[in-house]
Structure 1
Amino acid sequence: MKDIGILGLGVMGRNLALNIAHRGFGVSVYNYTPNETEEFVAKHMQGEDISAFYDVESFVRSLKSPRKIFLMIMAGKPVDNMIEVLIPLLDRGDLIIDGGNTYYFDTDRRMRYLEDKGLLYLGVGVSGGESGALNGPSLMPGGSREAYALVEDILTAMSARTEAGPCCTYVGNGSAGHFVKMLHNGIEYGMMQSMSEVYDIMRNVLKLSADEIGDVFEKWNEGDLNSYLMEISYRIMRKKDDETGKPLVDLILDKAGQKGTGKWTAEASLDLGVPAPSLYVAVYGRVMSFFKDERQRLSELVKKEPSDSVISRDALISDLENSLLFSNFVMYSQGIWLMNEASRVYGFEIDTAEVLKIWKGGCIIRARMLDLLIDIVREDRDNFNLLGSEKALSFLRDRLPSMRRVTMAARDHYVPTLVHNTALDYIFSMIEADLPANLTQAQRDFFGAHTYSRIDKEGIFHTKWE
């Protein structure tokens, strides 16, 4: 009898199965299409404590009680369909784990549905891609503590490890795990967009080659900008196309895809009333990239007249380093605010410092900056968006001049910087005591009698403006 079953043998599923087996646990595997199972058996199962099955009934019977089944299948309707297949085969107290990028409201719905049938359910965020799945991902499990206790030893054993411990922790109640994974991906969208903006400035303003940009990225990765995304980016810059010998990045069509988690993050920020503009526009950056033909047509109709002012290469690169640190901090800050508000509204009971700790290894947004963020969070657990910390404000103040120069240089040269501009405007808004929303509210009262408050006396007021 095996300790756990992996249902779904795509890239992530088969690598998680191997990872768990390497940690000393017995694994059963099953895939809806037999050819995937056959390929896995032929290529990967030699010498592993893994048993493969070609029918779901035998797969379920092979598991120790209470059974633990890890679904690694496409999110959405396929998960609902597979749950219906499994229900008649399971006993009370058995556990289904969803490791996909699932919409957190779907996770809540499934938990309630299965609870009525005496079954346990965990929504587990899994980050790290193919390599992380095999060698140790960052895992974000959410649900009941009873459900987590059944697989805590397996999840912590298979996760990545840093000096702070395993990159797995009980995230919180209900759909907390999938919410936090969604938020992780929203921050990931923002970090990737901000890096692409810096890359764009270096190639179009400083006219640097891909190799030269790779050198800059590698140097930055040795300092405060150290991160997984920076590491892979300098390697990307140096990769040459086998056919042409040109930098491969220069040959890739500028249309970025997306799977939906960034959009869900933006929607959650609006639903919860938490400002996260940098995460929001990162999604729109990908959306606009998809309109290649329209952009190409308009680029030929509008004459660009970039500034002819002399720009110091070294000075701008230094400013870009600071602006990227500024932007990344702001995106983490917006994400943390959103996570804290979701925890309050939905009763997740998330420990923010613990989440940041498990993001230090295995996941896509792991970065040296997380140490600073953890320190700020631990100083004041009620600092909901980090900006109440003098340490945070000092970090941003020191880099604000660079941020302003970078955004101005980008505008002077017609380079779009969606994330950088919104990060700067976000901070400008958050440090402004008097925003022009008084005019907005007066307009609302004028056309819709929506009323307003006053700064000089208590009460709710409405004016007949004409």
Structure 2
Amino acid sequence: MAQIGIYGLGTMGSALALNMAEHGFDVAVTNRESDWIAPFISEAGDLAARLHPYTTLAEFIAALTPPRVILFMIPSGAPMDAMIDEITPLLAPGDTVIDGGNADFHDTRRRTAQLAERDLHFVGMGVSGGESGARHGPSMMLGGSAHSWQQLKPVLTAIAARYEGAPCVAHLGPDGAGHFVKTVHNGIEYVDMQVIAEIYSLLRNGAALAPTEIGALFADWDRGPLKSYLVEITARLLSYTDPETGHPMVDVIKDAAGQKGTGRWTVIEALRMGQSASMIEAAVGARGWSSEKATRQRAETILGGAVGAFDGTPEVLAEAFLAARILAYAQGFRILASASEEYEWSLDPATIARIWRAGCIIRSALLDDIAAAFDQHLPQGQLILAPQIAQTLARCIPSLRQVVCSAMHGGHPVPALSAGLSWYDSMRLGHGSANIIQAQRDMFGHHGFERLGRSGRHHGPWWD
């Protein structure tokens, strides 16, 4: 009998099934469109011996060793709810159902409670790394019961990406913990991609460098502190030429970025918890603005689209990039800490940083330093106040300031870089300007305010 079942043989589901089979696990597989199944088995080669195809849901469930473990790689939302309704009558107490998609963690919490009423276990599992990661070793973020983790641990630790021998998978907490961590992972991913795009634009439009020259610079950066998956693939993609036109491939791609919602979810949850996600919000906003291509082209003729030169050196840009990356991670981990407290998840930031070091899209050399920082006692629990991180920021922030100022002077949009700098400057002011806001709120709405050195709520003399 099969040790695990995978329903959904799309890109990610089929890659995970092959990964499991390659590591010696027997995997039952099926798909809503049954005509997908035979070609998948045929193309699996020698691994087909460990892949057991079924065309009906009942046969698929019956082929699994109890207590059953079923991984669904299907669209989240209504399709997942419909599948739960369909599969529940076929399950027995102790069975585990896994949603491996990018689901809203609120849905995951609801489904966990719903299935628990029948003594069934629901797992929300974030999977990062794309098709290649799923096939050869993803980073996985698990939220669910201890019972489910014990069922899944042998399989997931075997197929996970590895960093210096350690598997990049962890049980992070109950119910929606895994899916929430994956959501914030994607929010950080949005920022990293946007920062890269802003730096590329400064070099391309402000410094008039060719894509291949910029690619060579990113390749150089990938050999140092900025080493990361996104820097690596940026260097590679900038070397390609369009076979149809002979132009740089990047130049024939429409400048309108897509998005599937996880970045937006991160911002919404951060704001709901009263946290700052200014860099993620800037990255999400930039994708939204990019989709308004026709409006931007019209605005260029009316408002003028010419931009000035950018004179930052590669060394200054590299330090600005590093500062921005630190600030993006810092904002992300603040959101995770707030959610952990609100939902009583007991998330361990050091563990999260470690399982992000390989297999996932935001893997980077910086995560070693972040994990080490969270292993220590941080002032106010803030990553930017960790001694080593604070020292790096002290060195790099002047470069970030120089890049943002030069970009703005030349009319180059840098929403994520500037948002990061503004947040940093706000956080290092022991006495800010919110006192005037509180005075305004009291004057127009009698909301009151706290006085320095006194307890209780007070009002200004304008109410005397």
TM-score bin (small chain): over 0.9
The answer to which of 334-343 and 44-53 deviates more is: 44-53
Does the residue aligned with 1:342 lie in a helix, a strand or coil?
A: helix
Amino acid at match of 2:458: F
Provide Cα deviations, 1:361-398, integer angstroms capped at 9, x if missing partner: 10000000001111111111675321222222111110
- Residue 37 of structure 1 pairs with residue 37 of structure 2: yes
Structure 2 partner of 1:74: 75
CA distance in 2, matches of 1:339, 1:232: 27
Given that residues 334 and 385 in structure 1 are in contact (C-alpha distance below 8 angstroms), is that contact kept between their aligned partners in structure 2? no
Count, aligned residues: 462
| Counterpart Cα distance in 2 of 1:47 and 1:24 | 9
1:461 equivalent to 2:461? Answer no
> How many Å separate the matches in 2 of 1:287 and 1:305?
22
1:70-100 CA distances to partner (integer Å, 9 max, x unpaired)?
A: 0000011100011111101111111101100
- Paired with 1:83 and 1:175, the residues of 2 have a C-alpha distance of 16
Residue 368 of structure 2 corresponds to: 371
Distance 2:53 2:443 in 1: 69
Q: Which runs of 5+ in 1 are unaligned?
A: none
Contact 2:138 2:359 in 1 (8 A): yes
415, 419, 433: which one aligns with 1:418: 415
Runs (5+) with no aligned partner, structure 2? none
d(CA) in 2 for partners of 1:384, 1:173: 22
Q: Of 390, 395, 398, which aligns to 1:393?
A: 390
- Give the drift of 1:47: 4.0
Mapping for residues 19-168 of structure 1, pairs under 5 Å: 19-44=19-44, 46-48=46-48, 49-163=50-164, 165-168=166-169
Deviation of residue 456 (structure 1)? 5.0
1:219-368 pair list within 5 angstroms: 219-303=220-304, 306-307=307-308, 316-368=313-365
**Aligned-residue offset at 1:307:** 4.8
Distance change in 2, residues 1:22/1:271 (3 Å): same
Output the CA distance in 2 between the equivalents of 1:178 and 1:375: 24
When the two chains are superposed, the root-mean-square deviation of aligned CA atoms in Å is 1.4
Letter in 1 for 2:22: H
Change (3 A) 1:459 1:7: same
Helix, strand or coil: the match of 1:140?
Answer: strand
In the alignment, is the contact (CA less than 8 A) between 2:102 and 2:179 conserved in 1?
yes
Q: 1:8 & 1:189 partners in 2: Cα distance?
A: 27
Alignment partners' CA distance in 2, 1:24 and 1:62 = 17
Does the 8 A contact of 1:446 with 1:464 survive in 2? no
Structure 2: how far apart are the matches of 1:384 and 1:283? Answer: 26
- Cα deviation for residue 464 of structure 1 reads 6.0
Letter in 2 for 1:295: R
Does residue 197 (structure 1) correspond to residue 186 (structure 2)? The answer is no
CA gap of 1:381–1:413, structure 2 versus 1, over 3 A, is closer
CA contact (8 A) 1:217 1:234 kept: yes
AA paired with 2:135? L
Distance 1:121 1:171, change over 3 A: same
CA deviation after TM superposition for structure 1 residue 39, in Å: 2.4
- The residue identity in structure 2 corresponding to 1:325 is L
Structure 1 segments of 4+ aligned residues over 6 angstroms from their partners: none
Q: CA contact under 8 A between 1:160 and 1:361: conserved in structure 2?
A: yes
**Paired residue type of 1:3:** Q
**Aligned-residue offset at 1:169:** 1.1
Distance in 2 between residues matched to 1:458 and 1:152, nearest whole Å: 51
- Identity among equivalent positions (%) equals 39
- Partner Cα distance (2:380, 2:169) in 1: 24
Output the CA distance in 2 between the equivalents of 1:45 and 1:58: 23
The answer to whether the Cα contact below 8 Å between 2:22 and 2:47 also exists between their aligned partners in 1 is no
Classify 1:385/1:319 alpha carbon distance in 2 versus 1 (closer, same or farther; 3 Å): same
Q: CA deviation at 1:221?
A: 0.3
